[in-house]
Amino acid sequence: MLLGLLFAIAAAVAVGLLLSRVPGYVLIAYGTTRVEFTLFVFVLIYLMVLVLGGGLWALWRRLLGIPGALGRHRRRRSEERAARSLTTGLVALAEGRLAIAERALEQAASGGLKLPALLAAARAADSAGARDRRDAYLRRADKEVPRAGPAVLLTQARLELDRGDCERALATLQRLRGERTAHPMVLRQLARVYVSLGEHGNLLKLLDDLLRFKALPEADVARLAATALAGALADPASEPDILWRQLPRALRSRSDLRRVLAGAYTERGEPRRALALLERNLGAGFSPEDARAVASLQELSPETRLKLLNEWRKKYGDKPELLREAGRVALELGLWGQARSFFEGAGSAGDSPELAGLLGRLAEHEGRRDEALAAYRAGLKQLLDAPGHGD
C-alpha cells in the first residue's frame, strides 16, 4: 500500500511539472454560464471525483452486504440447530425413545437436513405403530425434497417388509425396479421379499442381476440360489434340468448347488444322475456333505456305496467323516467288524451325537448292552449341552 501511495505522489508531481510547462485550460459552458479551469486544476478535480465516487460505491456495497451476511449467519445457525436435532433424534431412535426421536427429527426437518430427518422420522413413527404419521413423513419428503423419490420408496419398502407386509413391499419394489433396474438396494430387498413369500421362481430369475450389479457378495447369492433351487425343485411338476439352466453360469460349478440338484434326482428315482453329480464334487475335492449324500443314496446297493467310499478313502485318506459314513454303510450290511474298525478310526462317542448313536447301534447288534447305553447317554448329553438347546 505504501508503495502505491509513493507511486501516486510521484505521478502527481510529474503531471504537475508537465502541466506547469503547458498550462492549457478547460472551458465548461452551459447556457450563459461559463466556467474555466486550468488543465491542472481540472485533472485534480477529476481525480478527486473518481476517488470519492469509488469510496462511496464501496461503502454502499458494504452496507448492502450486511443483510446478506446476516442471512448467511442465520442459515448457518439454523443448519447447526438442525444437525443437533438430527443427532438427538437418531440417538433417541437407536435407544427406543420414539416420542423424543420423532419430535427432534421433526425439528431437524425444518432445517437443511430435511430428507434424512424425514426418513428417520418415518422410521420412528413406524416403530411406534403410527403408520399414518409414517406415510405423512414419506409423502412430505417426496414432495419437498427434489429427486427424493427412490430414497422414499426404498424406505417405505423396507419398513413394510420389517412389518411383514410383503405384498405391499413387493409392489413398491417392483415400481422402483421399473424406474431403476440396476439399483443394488432394490435388488437386495426384492430378494428378501421373494424369500419371505416363497416365490422361488422369481428369485431364480433375480440371481443374474444380483451378480451383474454386485448387489450382494457371490457367496450370499449362492445361498439364495440354493434356497431358490431347493424351493423350486420341491414342486413335483418341476423339471430339474430346466431349473438348473436358469442358474447363472458362474454358480453352476458350486458343489453345494450340485448337491441340491442331486437330492432332486434322488427324490425322482434317478440315483445314477445324483451319483454323477456327487462324484464330480468329490473329484474336485473332499466334502463331508458329499460323502454323507453318497452314503445316504438308498437307491444304490450298500455294496456299491461302500466301494465308492473306500475309493475316496484311498484318495483323501482316512478322514473321520469318510470313516463314519463307511461305518454307517457297513452297519447296514451287517459287517459288524468292519463297522467297528471304521467307527474307532472316526473317533469316540464323545466326539459327536451322531457318532455316539452309531456306536450305540453297533454295540446293540453285538449284544453289548452296557456299552450301547453308555454311547446313547454320551450322545444325549452332547445334545442337551449344545448351545441354543434351551432356546
CA distance 351 to 375: 11
Q: What is the pLDDT of residue 80?
A: 78
Cα of 337 vs its chain's centroid, Å: 54
37 forms beta bridges with 26
Terminal CA-to-CA distance of the chain, rounded, Å?
83
Phi, psi (deg, nearest 5) at residue 198: 70, 25
Give residue 40's pLDDT: 61
The answer as to whether 95 is a domain residue is yes
Per-state percent for the chain, helix, strand, coil, to nearest 5: 75, 5, 20
334 to 297, 338, 385: CA distances (angstroms): 17, 9, 32
Classified as helix, coil or strand, 348 is coil
In a domain, 369, yes or no: no
Neighbours of 61 (CB within 10 A): 9
Residue 228, domain member (yes or no): yes
Is residue 49 in some structural domain? no
Question: What residues form DSSP beta bridges with 27?
Answer: 36
d(CA 335, CA 252): 38
pLDDT at 7: 60
Residue 306 lies in a domain: no
Query: Are both 189 and 244 inside the same structural domain?
Result: yes
What residue ranges of the chain have pLDDT lower than 50? 5
Is residue 8 assigned to a domain?
no
Instruction: Give the DSSP H or E segment for 29.
Output: strand 25-30
Phi/psi for 122 (5° steps) reads: -65, -40
> Same domain, yes or no, for 189 and 242?
yes
Residue range of the domain that includes 226: 165-172+183-252
Domain closes at, from 252, 286, 307: 252
Residue 118 in domain: yes
Given this model, what pLDDT does residue 327 score?
93
- Does residue 264 fall inside a structural domain? no
Whole-number pLDDT of residue 334: 92
Q: What is the pLDDT of residue 146?
A: 82
The domain total for the chain is 2
